Structure 1
């Protein structure tokens, strides 16, 4: 049997209600990281011309 993985934010045991996090607080901290560009998906940078033509 494999050992359950901990919360990725604080390393406490996960909660069924907030999987993969242990609490709403850790879930919200993770979401805030995405909103403030704390996380990024790898890839090549977009040029300003590509961004302007997406609309």
Structure 2
């Protein structure tokens, strides 16, 4: 049986992975207020241009060459 990520009590099937609606709302509020965040890496302009050119699809003219 898993535990609630908010309070560590046993989780219930009705509110999985939480133990209650209260803990579910506490977790949601933490996301809304920025308490949880996905880490990001800042790119300098050169890195950004390289990443952009690597993901840009070729122009349609390139297919007819």
TM-score calculated relative to the size of structure 1: 0.71
RMSD of aligned C-alpha atoms?
1.4
Spell out structure 1 runs of 4+ moving beyond 6 A: none
Q: Structure 2 CA distance, aligned partners of 1:38 and 1:8?
A: 14
Partner of 2:7: 10
- Within 5 Å, give how 1:1-55 maps onto structure 2: 4-45=1-42
Larger Rg: 2
Q: Structure 2 CA distance, aligned partners of 1:6 and 1:40?
A: 22
Higher relative contact order, structure no. (Cα contacts within 8 Å, ≥ 6 residues apart): 1
Number of equivalent positions: 43
Q: Which runs of 5+ in 2 are unaligned?
A: 44-65
Q: Structure 2 CA distance, aligned partners of 1:18 and 1:33?
A: 17
TM-score calculated relative to the size of structure 2: 0.61
